[in-house]
Amino acid sequence: MLSNALSVGLKTLAANPLRTFLSTLGVIIGTAALVAVLALGDGVERYAREQITLKTDLQQFTISPLTGRRLDGIWLPRPDTVSLGEAELRQLAAELGPEVDLTLRLAGGTLVGGLPGDSLRGAMVEAVMGSVAGPPDSLLVAGRLLDQGELGGTTPIAVISPDLAALIGPGAAAVDRTILLRGNPFTVVGIAGRTGAEEKRLAIQVPFGAFDLAVPPQTRAPAGIVGSAPTLEAMEPALAKATAWATRVGGDGLSVGSRGDILTEVSRGMLVAKLLMGSITGISLLVGGIGIMNVLLAGVVERTREIGIRRATGAQRRDIIGQFLAESVVITGAGSLLGVILGMAGAFGVSWVMRAQSDAPVHAAFTALPLLVAAASAVVIGLVFGMYPALKASRLAPIDAIRTE
């Protein structure tokens, strides 16, 4: 029955190819727009996630010992501050797995000497141990960063920020120079960090084992652990595991912090943008469906006598409905196939223009699900908008239909 309905439908559509093409054109354009928007949306989302990973801390969480507590509105020091060290770093790494990068971080303020004019400046010193080989904002300016072997060592070497390097000399003049941290000599091996900030940032990174030489005990903050999830999706489960570990190990003495609220809003914003663009382009599919309905309604009027003869010779109402729905599905099926091809080509073209105009490496991203959704939406539109003409044709009285001229 289905094959017969499709056969009759194809013959009917082939009898008036121009009208069939014009009715299919709306579905082609609608499907192409939907495919292109979904592909470009996925591509932009992928680019945004890469930029978030590279340039923000939204995928990071921190575990820090609490040095005090507020009691009756008064901030009081804690006598039992939790100590985090290499053993705790290994425990947490075993808990979270190798996908999450973990770093044990020490920080504290110190006096920097050995500068031109024998002046003294205050700087923040940092030492790390773990997965991360570079300091925060580790944009290398000159020299080199500390390698993995040096991070946990005791060699008195340092990577300094550009603002501190500028106090020593222009360009890369600070590399291989000696500075004094807490009165101890450290050799500068690199300059790293971001320039152009309104507030000058005098920062230094030293090996973990050389931190005691660089920073006096009274200016040190307790060691903390910084974790970085590989993707935005992996952040939530990693944070949950880290929080459970911190509660088990330190009770209420450890604080777990993250940018979870911003992370949630970023993910929600990406989803809303894709749904918005998909909804707007979906309107063009509705327009194509209305065009199909008009064509089929015109077909009902033109073929009233034919329908009456078919009903009089034994055709059931479901046969008439099947014939018109088959015509609608053929139109939308062909339109959706051509629309998918056109949409893919359009997405590649638009992404090329975006790369040429913005220098952003945005590429159209095609996955099976958006393509299936676009094609299925076109077929569903055809069935929905073809149902009314099909029902109208099936309800024609055979005798009255045969008498129609």
Decide if 2 contacts 323 (C-beta within 8 A).
no
Q: How much is the pLDDT for 196?
A: 56
* Residues 307 and 377 occupy one common structural domain: yes
Q: Could you tell me the pLDDT band of residue 401, with boundaries at 50, 70 and 90?
A: low
* Residues 270 and 394 occupy one common structural domain: yes
* Residue range 134-172, pLDDT digits in tens: 554 567 888 888 888 888 888 999 999 998 998 988 888
* pLDDT surpassing 80 at residue 393: no
Q: How far is CA 278 from CA 38, 45, 166, 347, 374, in A?
A: 7, 14, 51, 14, 10
Per the domain annotation, does 303 fall within a domain? yes
* Residues 270 and 221 occupy one common structural domain: no
Q: How much is the pLDDT for 2?
A: 47
Residue after which a domain boundary falls, among 171, 200, 227: 227
* Residues 387 and 270 occupy one common structural domain: yes
176/78 Cα distance (integer angstroms): 42
Q: How much is the pLDDT for 237?
A: 87
pTM across the whole model: 0.57
Per the domain annotation, does 255 fall within a domain? no
Cα angle: 285, vertex 370, 388; to 5 degrees: 30
Q: How much is the pLDDT for 177?
A: 93
Residue after which a domain boundary falls, among 227, 256, 283: 227
Q: How much is the pLDDT for 16?
A: 65
Q: Could you tell me the pLDDT band of residue 398, with boundaries at 50, 70 and 90?
A: low
* Residues 203 and 144 occupy one common structural domain: yes
* pLDDT surpassing 90 at residue 180: yes
* pLDDT surpassing 50 at residue 396: yes
Decide if 227 contacts 216 (C-beta within 8 A).
no
Structure tokens at 235: 């952040």
Number of domains in the chain: 2
* Residues 129 and 215 occupy one common structural domain: yes
Decide if 145 contacts 138 (C-beta within 8 A).
yes
* Residues 206 and 295 occupy one common structural domain: no
Per the domain annotation, does 58 fall within a domain? no
Per the domain annotation, does 187 fall within a domain? yes
- Averaged pLDDT of the chain: 78
256 φ/ψ angles, rounded to the nearest 5 degrees: -110, 120
Per the domain annotation, does 65 fall within a domain? no
The boundaries of the domain holding residue 220 are 101-227
Q: How much is the pLDDT for 210?
A: 92
* Residue range 282-330, pLDDT digits in tens: 776 677 777 767 766 766 666 666 667 766 777 677 777 777 777 777 7
* Residues 289 and 180 occupy one common structural domain: no
Q: How far is CA 110 from CA 106, 121, 212, 227, 320, in A?
A: 13, 8, 11, 26, 88
Per the domain annotation, does 133 fall within a domain? yes
119/16 Cα distance (integer angstroms): 91
Which range has the worst mean pLDDT, 116-125, 168-177, 331-340? Answer: 331-340
Decide if 69 contacts 81 (C-beta within 8 A).
no
Q: Could you tell me the pLDDT band of residue 81, with boundaries at 50, 70 and 90?
A: confident
Decide if 101 contacts 228 (C-beta within 8 A).
yes
Radius of gyration of the chain (CA): 34
* Residues 26 and 107 occupy one common structural domain: no
> Mean pLDDT over residues 108-126, rounded?
89
* Residue range 90-101, pLDDT digits in tens: 888 888 888 888
Residues 6+ apart with CB under 8 A from 327: 9, 12, 13, 296, 299, 386
* Residues 130 and 30 occupy one common structural domain: no
Residue after which a domain boundary falls, among 174, 196, 227: 227
* Residues 292 and 215 occupy one common structural domain: no
Per the domain annotation, does 393 fall within a domain? yes
Q: Tokens 């509705």 appear where?
A: 286
* pLDDT surpassing 60 at residue 13: no
Per the domain annotation, does 68 fall within a domain? no
Q: How much is the pLDDT for 1?
A: 47
Q: How much is the pLDDT for 77?
A: 76
301/307 Cα distance (integer angstroms): 10
Running DSSP on this structure, what letter comes out for residue 395?
Answer: T
**Beta strands at 60-65 and 178-181: parallel, antiparallel or unpaired:** unpaired
